[in-house]
Chains A and B, each alone.
Chain A
Amino acid sequence: MNSSYAVPAVALVVVATVLVGAFGLRISRTTSDFYVASRTVGPRLNAAAISGEYLSAASFLGIAGLVLVQGPDMLWYPVGYTAGYLVLLLFVAAPLRRSGAYTLPDFAEARLASHAVRRLAGAFVVGVGWLYLLPQLQGAGLTLTVLTGAPSSLGGLIVAVVVVATVAAGGMRSITFVQAFQYWLKLTALLVPALFLVLAWQGDGAPRHAFAEPATFREQRVVRIDDSLDLKLDRPLTVTVTGTVDGRTHDGRRIRLPTGTHHIEQGARLTFAKGSTVPAADRGTNGGMSTSLAASREERPLYATYGLILATFLGTMGLPHVVVRFYTSPHGVAARRTTVAVLGLIGAFYLLPPLYGALGRLYTPELTLTGNADAAVLLLPDRMIGGVGGDLLGALVAGGAFAAFLSTASGLTMAVAGVLTQDVLPTRGVRHFRLGTVLSMAVPLAASVIVGGLPVADAVGLAFAVSASSFCPLLVLGIWWRRLTPPGAAAGMLIGGGSAFVSVAATMAGFPGTGPLHALLAWPALWSVPLGFLTMVLVSLATPGRVPGGTEAILARFHLPEELSTPLRAL
């Protein structure tokens, strides 16, 4: 891909982010501005900011890549991300804003008057935040590598530095402007190329076999294997090979590979004939964002699909960067209206990634082999349109992708830094917030360099599953159930969230291998969410004496419209 346009585009996005942040800095003067933008962000600006923050690397690049590799089942991801906001609106939005707390630990303490629960919630916020930051940094690295061939840690480093600079300098007020700007940038960066791509597709005779299973090559294509991989064939494959396959070196020979697994060495060139099906690389061998827990999905797709639905529907409300945003609304009614606007904005955005996924299956099917399926969105303009036009559109997409990393990473950094400042560092001044910002970015940056290729879809899925089994019960029961006690909340978070965390971590470490146990551990939400709820309810019922004294007054504050609850605030 020609990088002479893409690099300036990425640079432009970075510079624009810093400039918009600096504009926010000029009017960000007080501590309140810093943390919650003085709670005066109107629904429209706030909705664009929330959407900008929410649409991450996983949305911008990951969904198209997943759809390309694994087919339309993966479209449950964007549906779940959107429906999560609807569930958030139904059960949490207005009461959460009225609770007057700033972070999830604040909420836990306000509701349960317990310092221990506050600390536990803080630990979960930092953990989930770091888990979610990791794929953003890796995605940035991948994008820069695809565009320029730069080493993969460079992109992550650039994102980390820019984010720390904007967050530490301007706080929430600046970030609100930056993210609102980035939502529109991301939408434009996907929408405009999509229009041209659809035109090109029509000019190509509107081929429809994108829906065919499995994907096939539309024309003869040479695929260069950059990293050696294992190819799993369901049916025999005839291919022309230059390089080493199964330990035997071929030189432009046409061979027939029987059904089974074949090892292809690095540097081999495979020439696929027109109409031959695209083979799938074996799990774990084609690192990158779109390698999901594919094997277990094939074993029990239905269980996995429902697990995914539950995790995304209920996990959204507990994501730290999502929650913090609600405190910036002026009141509960505005918080609700903001959420509806967010639903509209992200729903509109999510119409586009499936388009890229379908076109990717038509025009870049070999990406499933080379492992960079996430690059489909970046490569399509060049592949389908080509020339200067393709380069310019590719540059626009690349800029949008960087906006995606920057905005989500800054939202997460803001949230994690808020918790670190309030609960770990000694005082709450702006200087300590800046220290917290550096700290909250340094850890995932170090982890991304050390750990390396953790697939984005898995890391994001893990964050959602943990959040759905720990924060969702805390928020829903805390808001609607007056008999919740501190021991109940702590036990529920530990057992629900902890078991989700342990089981997905075990899956990533490759512990159970295959079989039903593997599926249960890889998609824990279906059992860990009920477990979290049940533990919280049962332990609370077993400790009825520990219901905090002011529960009735606090619930009244959560639910009463602002015009009635003003006197209660004073209590």
Chain B
Amino acid sequence: MPGQDPAERRVVVTGPPRRTRRTRRASGYYRPRTEIDEQTTLGHTYVRSLMRTQLRAALAVFAFLGLLIGPLPLVFAAMPAARHLEWVILGFCLYAPMVLLALWYVRRAERNERDFVRLVEDR
């Protein structure tokens, strides 16, 4: 609990032993995890922050996809002579970038979740 000095804290710890990395916290400290489990307003705020991060990651990749794909029909329409270009790009050049985008998104989403777990578990 904020404001307590270390000497006092050493006396307070009784109860069943906790996992070692949390002993630096005093008992009675409400971890975010508890807030989420008990669905308090603060808990909802934590969940919302995770949703916002994840949505931002998804929208970033989606925007990238839109920029990659969106102009192509216009380009092809503007250059009717470059038929072979359309064959090559549509036929063979878009799948690898899409897989890379997916990999990038999954790494980011999983990192967001790991960070969030670290935050609320207070590690």
- Chain A contacts to B: CB under 8 angstroms: 71-73, 75-76, 79, 82-83, 85-87, 89-91, 94, 210-213, 301-302, 305-306, 309, 333, 336-337, 339-340, 343-344, 347-348, 350-351, 354-355, 358, 480, 552-553, 555-556, 559-561, 563-564, 567-568
A96 vs B23: C-alpha distance in the bound complex, in angstroms? 37
Quick one: which of A76, A348, A480, A556 contacts B55, CB cutoff 8 A? A480
Residues B109 and A72 in contact, CB atoms below 8 Å apart: no
In Å, the complex CA distance between A568 and B90 comes to: 45
CB distance from B52 to the nearest CB of A (A): 10
What chain A residues lie within 8 Å of B55 (beta carbons)? 480
Q: In the complex, what residues of A have CB within 8 A of residue B110's CB?
A: 333, 336
Q: Is B77 in the interface zone, CB < 8 Å from A? A: yes
Q: List 27 A-B contacts (CB under 8 A).
A: A75-B91, A76-B90, A83-B65, A83-B94, A86-B61, A86-B102, A89-B105, A90-B58, A90-B105, A94-B109, A211-B84, A212-B83, A302-B73, A302-B74, A302-B77, A337-B106, A343-B98, A343-B102, A347-B98, A358-B87, A555-B51, A556-B47, A560-B36, A561-B113, A563-B117, A564-B121, A568-B36
Contact of A351 among B61, B62, B65, B95 (CB under 8 A): B95
- Of the candidates B47, B84, B101, B116, the one whose C-beta lies within 8 Å of that of A552 is B47
Query: Would A567 and B95 be within 8 Å (CB), given that A336-B106, A556-B47, A559-B47 are in contact?
Result: no
A480→B51 contact, CB < 8 A: yes
In the complex, A85 Cα to B61 Cα: how many Å?
Answer: 13
| B8 is an interface residue with CB less than 8 A from chain A | no
A73 to B98, CA, bound (A): 19
A213 and B102 form a contact (CB under 8 A): no
- Interchain CB contact under 8 A, A553 and B101: no
**Total interface residues on B, using CB and 8 Å?**
44
When each residue 11-34 of chain B gets 1 if its CB lies under 8 Å from chain A and 0 otherwise, what string results? Answer: 000000000000000000000010
Cross-chain contact A75 with B87 (CB below 8 angstroms): yes
* Set of chain B residues within 8 Å of A86, measured between Cβ atoms: 61, 65, 98, 101-102
Q: A213 to B73, alpha carbons, bound, how many Å?
A: 18
Residue B103 at the chain A interface, CB threshold 8 Å: yes
CA distance A563 to B33 in the complex (A): 11
**Complex Cα gap A324–B81 (Å):** 44
- Extra contacts, 12 of them, besides A351-B95, A480-B55, A564-B121 (Cβ < 8 A), are A72-B87, A79-B94, A83-B98, A91-B58, A94-B109, A305-B73, A306-B73, A336-B109, A336-B110, A343-B99, A358-B91, A561-B113
Complexed CA–CA distance, A210 and B39 (Å) = 63
Contacts of B62 in A (CB 8 A): 87, 90-91
> In the complex, what's the smallest C-beta–C-beta distance from A548 to chain B, in angstroms?
14
Q: Contacts A72-B91, A302-B77, A306-B73 hold; do A556 and B44 have CB atoms under 8 A apart?
A: yes
In the assembled complex, the Cα of A344 lies from the Cα of B51 at a distance in Å of 27
- Which of B45-104 touch A at CB < 8 Å? 47, 50-51, 54-55, 58, 61-62, 65, 69, 73-74, 76-77, 83-84, 86-87, 90-92, 94-96, 98-99, 101-103
Which A residues are CB-close (under 8 A) to B65?
83, 86-87
A24 and B82 CA atoms in complex are apart in Å by 50
Contact at A347–B96, with CB atoms within 8 Å? yes
Q: Is the CB of B103 within 8 A of A556?
A: no
- The distance from the CB of A476 to the nearest CB of chain B, in whole angstroms, is 10
Instruction: Give the residue of B90, B102, B105, B117 whose beta carbon is less than 8 angstroms from that of A75.
Output: B90
Bound-complex Cα distance A309 to B90 (A): 12
- Is B37 part of the binding interface, using a Cβ–Cβ cutoff of 8 Å? yes
Residues of B within 8 A of A301 (CB): 77
Q: Quick check: A340 and B99 within 8 Å, CB to CB? A: yes
Pair B99/A568 contact, Cβ less than 8 Å: no
What CA separation (Å) do A146 and B105 show in the bound complex? 44
A212 and B84 alpha carbons, distance in the complex (Å): 8
Q: Quick one: closest A residue to B39, CB to CB?
A: A553
Q: List B contacts of A344 (CB < 8 A).
A: 99
Known A94-B109, A336-B106, A340-B102; judge A556-B73 contact (CB<8 A): no
